[in-house]
Structures are given as C-alpha cells and as structure tokens.
C-alpha cells in the first residue's frame, strides 16, 4: 500500500502558475496548500514528497516571487505552492494585497483540506508564520507544521524546538500538528506522507 501511494505522489505534475487566486483551477476535489518563508525549505519538501528533484522549481521564474503554483497529484487532488513570504524587496502594498487574497482563499476555498506550514527549525514561529496559523484556524483549516532542515541541529535542540512549537499551538488551542523534518536526509517522511494521505483521503 505504501509503495502504491508513493507512486501516486511521484506522478505529480505541474498544472499552472497564476498571479491571483481568482485564476485558480475550479474549486473541486481536494487541495493542500504549502506555505512558508522564502528559503524555509518549502520547495524541497514538495520535491521530497513527490520524489522528484525539481518539480517545485520548474515553474519558478526569478523575480516573480508572487506566483502561485498548482500541481496535480491526480484528477481530483492538487498541491498548491503559495509564494514564500519574508522577501524584504516586496512592497508593503503588494504584501497587503497578498494577505487579503490569502485570507479569502483560506476562508472560501471549499476544496482546501489543509495547510502545510514549513518553518526552518532554526527560525520557527516568525510573525508571518503565526499569522498563517491564526488565519487558518479562524477558517477551520487544519495546519501541519514541518520543522525543516533538522539535519542542521542536534537531537537535543530538535526535541526542544518541537516541544516549544507544540506548546505554542496547544496554548492557542489551534488545530495544528507539528513534526521534525529533513528533505536532505528524508527524515520524517512517513509522518508527512501520512498527513497528506489523510487530508487527500487516499
Ligand atoms: P523555499 O524557498 O522555501 O522553497 O526553500 P528551498 O526548498 O528552495 O530550500 C532553500 C535552501 O535550503 C536550499 O539551498 C536547499 O537546498 C536548502 N534545504 C532545503 N531543505 C533542506 C534540508 O532538509 N536540509 C538542509 N541542510 N538544507 C535544506
């Protein structure tokens, strides 16, 4: 069964890039959105899941940081790679427009089953990350947090940050799960895979 599922993600293909969520594919089936600060390891997590080296980069045009990329797992299931945030170069106006668009997407998108929030384990819970967690919660969208690049710190630090992040979501009474992850080493892949399968109802 596990091999069968792996093959499904391996077949994931790029559908399209859009600038505005109004141009998203029809609101049908299942969608899982990936969010995170730029350089958090978001693209790498999608590529690891799908066992493809450059899937989440194929559509990336330098300088066009605000594009939203859609990938098709199968006819009914999509992965959405939302723009990485934290770019100093992006103007306040553009940031505000994007925030409004993201809130609307979280509130209105019927097919959205969950949000994968990728945070570099060394820089967790920045302001924008917390906003995403809160907005998702307000829209009753579950969040799964990948604390990424854990190969860069030792086991003791990993456990400490995992616990602190879990405490944060518990205190806020938010529907979020948290795990340690490394795309480089493929650590945490089965937990990540299980969450995706659950939300996609595989
Ligand atoms: P994105 O901007 O959030 O999509 O991040 P990327 O996936 O492009 O990764 C940003 C940088 O971090 C790249 O240089 C990756 O090679 C590196 N990176 C991503 N995941 C890992 C990981 O698990 N471990 C290590 N050591 N580096 C990683």
- What is the reported pLDDT for 4? 55
Task: Decide whether any atom of ligand 1 lies within 6 Å of the 120 Cβ.
Answer: no
Whether the Cβ atoms of residue 188 and residue 181 lie closer than 8 Å to each other: yes
- The model's pLDDT over 83-135, given as tens digits with 9 standing for 90+, comes to 888 876 778 888 888 888 889 999 999 999 999 999 999 999 999 999 999 99
CA of 182 to the centre of ligand 1 (A): 9
Task: Decide whether any atom of ligand 1 lies within 6 Å of the 188 Cβ.
Answer: no
**Ligand 1 atom 26: residue of nearest CA:** 149
Task: Decide whether any atom of ligand 1 lies within 6 Å of the 149 Cβ.
Answer: yes
- What is the reported pLDDT for 6? 58
Task: Decide whether any atom of ligand 1 lies within 6 Å of the 36 Cβ.
Answer: yes
% of the chain with per-residue pLDDT over 70: 92
- What is the reported pLDDT for 19? 85
The backbone torsions φ and ψ at residue 25, rounded to the nearest 5 degrees and listed phi first, read -60, 165
- At a CB cut-off of 8 Å and minimum separation 6, what does 64 contact? none
- What is the reported pLDDT for 65? 56
- What is the reported pLDDT for 1? 46
Residues in the chain where the model's pLDDT stays below 70:
1-6, 58-65, 88
pTM, full prediction? 0.94
Residues in the chain: 202
Report which ligand 1 atom has the smallest distance to the Cα of 39. 2
Distance between CA atoms of residues 90 and 125, nearest Å: 20
- What is the reported pLDDT for 59? 44
**Ligand 1 atom 6: residue of nearest CA:** 41
Report which ligand 1 atom has the smallest distance to the Cα of 47. 7
- What is the reported pLDDT for 133? 96
Task: Decide whether any atom of ligand 1 lies within 6 Å of the 47 Cβ.
Answer: no
């Amino acid at each position: 069964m596990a091999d069968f599922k792996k093959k499904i993600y391996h077949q994931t293909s790029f559908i399209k890039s859009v600038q505005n969520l109004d141009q998203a594919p029809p609101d049908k089936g299942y969608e899982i959105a990936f969010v995170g600060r730029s350089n958090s390891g978001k693209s790498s997590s999608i590529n690891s899941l799908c066992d493809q080296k450059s899937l989440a980069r194929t559509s990336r045009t330098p300088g066009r940081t605000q594009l939203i990329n859609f990938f098709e797992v199968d006819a009914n299931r999509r992965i959405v790679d939302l723009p990485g945030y934290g770019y100093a170069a992006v103007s306040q106006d553009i940031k505000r427009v994007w925030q409004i668009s993201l809130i609307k997407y979280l509130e209105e998108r019927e097919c959205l089953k969950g949000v994968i929030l990728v945070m570099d384990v060394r820089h967790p819970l920045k302001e924008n990350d917390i906003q995403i967690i809160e907005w998702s919660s307000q829209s009753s969208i579950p969040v799964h947090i990948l604390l990424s690049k854990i190969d860069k710190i030792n086991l003791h630090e990993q456990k400490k940050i995992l616990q602190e992040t879990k405490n944060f979501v518990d205190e806020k009474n938010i529907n979020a799960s948290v795990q340690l992850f490394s795309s480089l080493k493929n650590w945490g892949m089965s937990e990540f895979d299980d969450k995706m399968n659950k939300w996609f109802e595989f």
